[in-house]
Structure 1
Amino acid sequence: MNLRETIDNSPMSGYQWAIVIMAAIMNLLDGFDVLALAFTATAIRNEFGLTGVELGYLFSAGLFGMTAGSLFLAPFADKVGRRPLLLLAVALSAIGMFGSAFVSDYKILAFWRVITGLGVGGILVGTNVITSEYSSKKWRSFAISVYAAGFGIGAMLGGMFAVVLQAEYGWRSVYLVGAILTGLCFIALLFWLPESIDFLTSKQPQNAKIKLNKIAAKMGFVGDWALPPKVEQTVRRLPISQLFSPQYLRSTLSIWLAFIAIMFSYYFVSSWTPALLKEAGMTTEQSVTVGMMISLGGTAGALLYGLLAGRWSARSVLILFTLGSALMSVIFILSSATLWLAMLFGILVGALMNGCISGLYTLNPAIYAADIRSTGVGWSIGVGRIGAILAPTVAGMLLDNGWEKQSLYIGVAFVMLISTVALCFLKAQSSKVRSV
């Protein structure tokens, strides 16, 4: 047996769970860094006298950076390793947050938001892949869900800290604290984060065997672990082009469509629910409370998906979550006139939709071989961001054209059903999907 098979079929060691926790902490800081602008938008708008359009540019800058980071930093990881990608991405995120704390113009702030977004996009790819590769088959879905839950926790904690920090020290302190925390994370990763097992065995960089055996010893696997025969490629193709080879084309298109549909639905619900409920008659406090319930449900849903996917087929559980999300979106909006029902069903909507995102993170790395895995994961996440970017804008356009909020949520239900169909096509490819 090789080390890859041993990891897949053995109980997870404390060292492996420590890697999962490191990934979750990186994702937690991502949640803080990404939503820092949402926490400070009012203060920034007042200080710089921004119009709504100019503030929108700032929000778009972060999303643009995240998309670019997922698309263009991911192939870097398949060339030089997952560890260098994560170190670079965390450094970019820290630098972007630090620069944001000392700006004198909103255009400069937009530049630093792009830099922060680049880092966050790279972190999402690297943490997804390395968590998957260091987890056993039995615990892989749950481990990825623990890592995915970090984002929602970071967002909630960031919101609470932002209120206190802004009241005492102003909005710039939020970014400065984010930079310090992310910098400390970089130092910890520099000492403790290992390289990917699959990268070492497939690419076999210098001293790969020595590194492999040190990592194996930390996981409790004694012995002298040899590298498999290295497969030399006779035709050098860009990793991106390999995503569209006959081997991967159907799976690539299916997972991309599922990502776009699920990201569109999740970001619509996250972005528009408080505003629509306030417009429907709730107070500001009530509408924000329902929005927080959706975030709270999202954290619980990520963990629930992991537990269920550990017992049954990860793909089948994800399909059930997409169907449940579609149904619950309709029930939620039809019951939103009653606060306690809106809170209850808001938790369920958040849980099911964020569970869907965890499911995509679980399935995505398993589709691609180790030599193009980061590229495959990065491009799936990056393309999925198209849905996230389109969701608020499309919803606004439909509202301007006279759509009622009930119609919007019913539309979201249909979008979720599109993801169900895409996943069914992906299921037909299961015999060709590689095990991580």
Structure 2
Amino acid sequence: MIDHYGWRSVFLAGGLATLTVVPLVFRLLPESLDFLLSRRPANAPDRVNSLARRMGQPELVALPDRDTTTPSSASGLRRLLAPDLRRPTLVLWGAFFLVMAAFYFVTSWTPALLVEAGMSSTQSLTGGTLLNLGGAFGTALLGALTARHALDDVLRVYLFASAGLVVAFAASTGTLALAFCIGALIGIAVNGCIAGLYALTLNVYSAPLRATGVGAAISVGRVGAIIAPSTAGRLLDAGWTPLALYVTTGAVFGAAGLLLLAMRVKQPTENATLAAGPTPPSP
């Protein structure tokens, strides 16, 4: 497509697609229940009851009392490390660091390492493209699975699957078709890991802390994302083989899965919030 139409045409087509899709998504997606209950925009009761009907829950006669406690950034960070949240917070930070380090190594180094393993430039680009295309399905599959199973259990399966697939991919580069198939599966798995961590963070913290909790976890993860690609380059210069790097990356995914065993998350649901109904007045 690029060879036929040129780069500018491709970017223009992508921009037009974005302008078309974003307003449609904005119109069709329902608003967050937490936002409706805390911010109380216009027609909040009707919009909450519309969500209740869609989820098969009874409608509310009146909205629950609003939680007016909004922690500042500094107090929010301290709250993340309070005794009741310290363990899940540290586990999340460790998982974000490991997963984002492994994810950015895989996505940034795969084409170059495929060339190092003996593939042509065209074949390596195809492998990298399949890896990214697989990511489009990883999040959708995660959502379908978590509708039936606990999110933390599904996420651990994704992490352990990523560990095995990354090692299998490095060992399969001699068979082109097999390597491409495994590369697409890796895209599904590793992108699902990232999406699952975001969703898990939302389950750990209450609504007033979620923005701070997610922001802090992402910040820690970005440190891993910065360190991993440059570290891979140094290890290659030191004589490491692509297989050794991929095996190490698989171990990092596996370590993140084991780390999540230390945290059992009580799954909060919007259904529970709706079922709770209005908070009775204080005596």
Same fold (TM over 0.5): yes
Conserved? CA contact 2:115–2:124, under 8 Å: yes
Conserved? CA contact 1:213–1:225, under 8 Å: no
Counterpart of 1:387 (choices 209, 215, 224) is: 224
- TM (norm. structure 2) is 0.79
Conserved? CA contact 1:194–1:215, under 8 Å: no
Determine the structure 2 residue equivalent to 1:339.
176
CA–CA distance in 1 between the matches of 2:71 and 2:195?
35
1:211 is aligned to 2:44: yes
Matches within 5 A, 1:79-228: 163=2, 168=5, 170-171=7-8, 181-183=17-19, 195-201=31-37, 203-205=38-40, 210-217=43-50, 220=53, 225-228=61-64
1:362 is aligned to 2:195: no
- Gap change, CA 1:331 and 1:192, over 3 Å in 2: closer
Amino acid at match of 1:197: L
CA–CA distance in 2 between the matches of 1:219 and 1:298?
32
- Aligned to 2:62, the other structure's residue is in SS state coil
Determine the structure 2 residue equivalent to 1:250.
87
Structure 2 residues without counterparts, runs of 5 or longer:
271-283
Conserved? CA contact 2:162–2:190, under 8 Å: yes
Conserved? CA contact 2:71–2:209, under 8 Å: no
Counterpart of 2:158 (choices 318, 321, 326) is: 321
Deviations 1:365-403 (A, max 9, x none): 111111222332233233322222222211111111111
How far off is 1:351 after superposition? 2.2
Determine the structure 2 residue equivalent to 1:39.
none
CA–CA distance in 1 between the matches of 2:30 and 2:144?
26
Q: For this pair of structures, how many residues does the alignment match?
A: 266
- Gap change, CA 1:335 and 1:376, over 3 Å in 2: same
- Aligned to 2:65, the other structure's residue is in SS state coil
CA–CA distance in 2 between the matches of 1:184 and 1:369?
34
Aligned sequence identity (%) = 38
CA–CA distance in 1 between the matches of 2:163 and 2:29?
39
Determine the structure 1 residue equivalent to 2:66.
230
Conserved? CA contact 1:330–1:413, under 8 Å: yes
- Aligned to 2:84, the other structure's residue is in SS state coil
Matches within 5 A, 1:17-28: none
Conserved? CA contact 1:305–1:359, under 8 Å: yes
Matches within 5 A, 1:263-342: 263-342=100-179
Amino acid at match of 1:228: P
Deviations 1:197-239 (A, max 9, x none): 21232x34565xx323245347647855412123454986643
CA–CA distance in 1 between the matches of 2:45 and 2:18?
28
Conserved? CA contact 2:151–2:196, under 8 Å: yes
Deviations 1:241-292 (A, max 9, x none): 3222223221111112112211111221111111111122211111111112
Deviations 1:58-95 (A, max 9, x none): xxxxxxxxxxxxxxxxxxxxxxxxxxxxxxxxxxxxxx
Conserved? CA contact 1:330–1:409, under 8 Å: yes
- Gap change, CA 1:282 and 1:248, over 3 Å in 2: same
Conserved? CA contact 1:294–1:350, under 8 Å: yes
Conserved? CA contact 1:213–1:224, under 8 Å: no
How far off is 1:424 after superposition? 0.9
- Aligned to 2:261, the other structure's residue is in SS state helix
Conserved? CA contact 2:134–2:186, under 8 Å: yes
CA–CA distance in 2 between the matches of 1:190 and 1:315?
28
- Aligned to 1:247, the other structure's residue is in SS state helix
CA–CA distance in 2 between the matches of 1:206 and 1:309?
30
